[in-house]
Amino acid sequence: MERLRSSPLHASISTALDKQLESIHVLQARRKDEIVNASSRQRHGPPRCQDERVVLALAAALRALCLATRRVRTALWCAFHMTLPK
């Protein structure tokens, strides 16, 4: 879109993209933690409190990703409309 406009886009658009990518990485890390916790629980028995914290952290990361995705979609929609010829 920057090439079509012949000028850089607003800084908030790249910031929104960066925050979404960061949210994706956080969610991936929380999912890995959940997988490790689930596999260790099968071996050693059920420590419920730790399991609930891991799942809550995963849910919080998923919520943050949802919010970041909405912001990115809005920012890209605005960038697209700024790119269209008048």
61 is a domain residue: yes
Q: What is the pLDDT along the chain (86 residues), one digit of tens a residue?
A: 667 677 778 889 989 999 999 999 999 999 999 888 877 766 665 555 567 888 899 999 999 999 999 999 999 999 898 888 87
Tokens of 26: 């956080």
pTM beyond 0.75, yes or no: yes
38 is a domain residue: yes
3 is a domain residue: no
- Provide the domain limits for residue 35: 10-83
- Structure confidence at residue 61 (pLDDT): 97
- Structure confidence at residue 29 (pLDDT): 96
- Structure confidence at residue 85 (pLDDT): 80
CB hemisphere CA count around 16 (13 angstroms): 19
1 is a domain residue: no
Q: How far apart are CA 12 and CA 19, in angstroms?
A: 10
Domain count across the chain: 1
- Structure confidence at residue 21 (pLDDT): 97
